[in-house]
Amino acid sequence: MVSDPAEACGQGVMVSDPAEACGQGVMVSDPAEACGQGVMVSDPAEACGQGVMVSDPAEACGQGVMVSDPAEACGQGVMVSDPAEACGQGVMTTSVPDTKASMDLCDVKLQN
Protein backbone atom coordinates (compact mmCIF):
# COMPACT_ATOMS: atom_id res chain seq x y z
CA MET A 1 0.00 0.00 0.00
CA VAL A 2 1.63 3.20 -1.14
CA SER A 3 -0.22 6.36 -0.29
CA ASP A 4 1.82 8.80 -2.34
CA PRO A 5 4.29 7.28 -4.82
CA ALA A 6 5.29 10.72 -6.07
CA GLU A 7 6.91 11.35 -2.71
CA ALA A 8 8.69 8.01 -2.58
CA CYS A 9 11.62 9.58 -4.46
CA GLY A 10 12.73 6.27 -5.88
CA GLN A 11 13.68 5.02 -2.43
CA GLY A 12 11.29 2.11 -2.35
CA VAL A 13 7.82 2.62 -0.97
CA MET A 14 5.92 4.89 1.33
CA VAL A 15 3.37 3.04 3.40
CA SER A 16 1.13 5.06 5.67
CA ASP A 17 -0.09 2.21 7.87
CA PRO A 18 2.58 0.00 9.44
CA ALA A 19 0.01 -2.72 10.08
CA GLU A 20 -0.32 -3.05 6.32
CA ALA A 21 3.44 -2.93 5.78
CA CYS A 22 3.77 -6.62 6.66
CA GLY A 23 5.22 -8.45 3.71
CA GLN A 24 5.91 -5.23 1.85
CA GLY A 25 9.47 -4.69 3.02
CA VAL A 26 9.22 -1.35 4.74
CA MET A 27 6.87 1.07 6.38
CA VAL A 28 7.94 4.64 5.77
CA SER A 29 6.27 7.48 7.62
CA ASP A 30 7.88 10.45 5.93
CA PRO A 31 9.12 9.85 2.37
CA ALA A 32 10.33 13.42 2.02
CA GLU A 33 12.95 12.66 4.64
CA ALA A 34 13.63 9.21 3.24
CA CYS A 35 15.09 10.61 0.00
CA GLY A 36 18.74 9.63 -0.26
CA GLN A 37 18.62 8.06 3.18
CA GLY A 38 17.49 4.58 2.28
CA VAL A 39 14.32 4.22 4.32
CA MET A 40 12.74 5.75 7.37
CA VAL A 41 10.44 3.50 9.34
CA SER A 42 8.76 4.84 12.42
CA ASP A 43 7.64 1.88 14.52
CA PRO A 44 9.70 -1.31 14.76
CA ALA A 45 7.05 -3.10 16.79
CA GLU A 46 4.62 -2.76 13.91
CA ALA A 47 7.18 -3.40 11.19
CA CYS A 48 6.47 -7.12 11.67
CA GLY A 49 10.10 -8.10 11.16
CA GLN A 50 9.86 -7.17 7.50
CA GLY A 51 12.89 -4.94 7.31
CA VAL A 52 14.18 -2.15 9.46
CA MET A 53 13.11 0.53 11.85
CA VAL A 54 14.84 3.82 11.25
CA SER A 55 14.22 6.62 13.68
CA ASP A 56 16.00 9.56 12.12
CA PRO A 57 16.86 9.45 8.41
CA ALA A 58 18.62 12.79 8.60
CA GLU A 59 21.21 11.11 10.81
CA ALA A 60 21.50 8.06 8.58
CA CYS A 61 24.12 9.95 6.55
CA GLY A 62 22.94 8.37 3.33
CA GLN A 63 24.50 5.08 4.40
CA GLY A 64 21.45 2.89 3.99
CA VAL A 65 19.67 2.56 7.29
CA MET A 66 19.93 3.59 10.89
CA VAL A 67 18.17 1.43 13.44
CA SER A 68 17.70 2.70 16.93
CA ASP A 69 17.19 -0.04 19.53
CA PRO A 70 20.33 -1.86 20.74
CA ALA A 71 18.29 -4.23 22.88
CA GLU A 72 17.25 -6.16 19.80
CA ALA A 73 20.54 -6.14 17.92
CA CYS A 74 21.26 -9.64 16.68
CA GLY A 75 24.68 -10.10 15.11
CA GLN A 76 23.97 -7.64 12.36
CA GLY A 77 27.51 -6.81 11.32
CA VAL A 78 27.97 -3.51 13.07
CA MET A 79 26.36 -1.93 16.07
CA VAL A 80 26.82 1.79 16.51
CA SER A 81 25.21 3.81 19.26
CA ASP A 82 25.81 7.18 17.63
CA PRO A 83 24.34 7.59 14.13
CA ALA A 84 27.08 10.07 13.27
CA GLU A 85 29.52 7.19 13.60
CA ALA A 86 27.49 5.10 11.16
CA CYS A 87 28.70 7.20 8.25
CA GLY A 88 30.88 5.13 5.98
CA GLN A 89 29.93 1.89 7.70
CA GLY A 90 27.10 1.01 5.34
CA VAL A 91 24.58 0.24 8.03
CA MET A 92 24.04 1.26 11.61
CA THR A 93 22.01 -1.51 13.13
CA THR A 94 20.79 -1.56 16.66
CA SER A 95 17.35 -3.05 16.29
CA VAL A 96 16.41 -5.76 13.87
CA PRO A 97 13.63 -8.20 14.75
CA ASP A 98 14.32 -10.39 11.72
CA THR A 99 17.99 -10.47 10.86
CA LYS A 100 17.71 -12.18 7.49
CA ALA A 101 14.83 -10.01 6.27
CA SER A 102 16.66 -6.92 7.45
CA MET A 103 19.89 -7.86 5.73
CA ASP A 104 18.03 -8.63 2.53
CA LEU A 105 16.29 -5.27 2.64
CA CYS A 106 19.50 -3.42 3.43
CA ASP A 107 21.20 -5.04 0.48
CA VAL A 108 18.40 -3.99 -1.83
CA LYS A 109 18.27 -0.44 -0.52
CA LEU A 110 22.02 0.02 -0.63
CA GLN A 111 22.16 -1.21 -4.20
CA ASN A 112 19.46 1.27 -5.12
The chain-wide mean pLDDT, for the chain, equals 40
pLDDT in tens, 16-69: 444 343 333 444 444 434 333 344 444 443 333 334 444 444 343 333 444 444
Q: What is the pLDDT of residue 90?
A: 39
Question: Residue by residue, what is the 3-state secondary structure of the chain?
Answer: CCCCHHHCCCCCCCCCCHHHCCCCCCCCCCHHHHCCCCCCCCCHHHCCCCCCCCCCHHHCCCCCEECCCCCECCCCCCCCCCHHHHCCCCEECCECCCHHHHHHHHHHHHHC
Q: What is the pLDDT of residue 4?
A: 39
Total-model pTM: 0.15
